[in-house]
Structure 1
Amino acid sequence: MKKSALILILILLVTIPADAQCAMCRAVLESEDGGATAKGVNNGIMYLMVFPYLLVGAIGYMVYSSRKKDKKKLSN
């Protein structure tokens, strides 16, 4: 149950579009015509924002699996 809920949440987070620009960046980039630069900057910000979450998730998973192994060893 928990695993399927986590997968559902991850799918929702990936598919929902987000704007990750600060107010100053948005004001400067919206003043341009076309908005191609604004879209590129927004995509770059989203790309850079993913890595800290992946890093924290990987460390959390390693701690979780390590504790699970230790608990399994103690019960045997």
Structure 2
Amino acid sequence: MKKRFILTALFFLFALGDIMAQCAMCRATVGSNLSEGRNTIGTGLNFGILYLLVIPYLIVGLGVFFYIRAAKQRLKEHAVI
């Protein structure tokens, strides 16, 4: 378990440079489009950021929901017997 955690931490540490590079590219694209008077890419980019923000919370929320539902069903089955 500890080995897996260390490997995961190292992976994210080495991937951090690539992640930060993407932010600079997006910022430059939006800045150049806004200075030219076009706002369509900025709006689409903001929608994409919100989409990427919501998906992990949705996945975790659904996982918790199904876990709680299964736990309640197990409690009902044990109470009947």
TM-score range, shorter chain: 0.5 to 0.7
Relative to its length, the structure with more helix (as a share) is 2
- Bigger radius of gyration: 2
Segments of 5+ residues of structure 1 without an aligned counterpart are: 1-21
2:13 maps to which residue? none
1:46 maps to which residue? 50
Tell me how many residue pairs correspond in the alignment.
53
Segments of 5+ residues of structure 2 without an aligned counterpart are: 1-22
1:5 maps to which residue? none
Higher RCO (CA-CA < 8 Å; seq separation 6+): 1
CA deviations 1:11-66 (Å, max 9, x no partner) are: xxxxxxxxxxx8x93x8364442321110110111122221122111111111111
Counterpart of 1:71 (choices 44, 68, 75) is: 75
- How far, CA to CA, are the matches of 1:73 and 1:40 in structure 2? 49
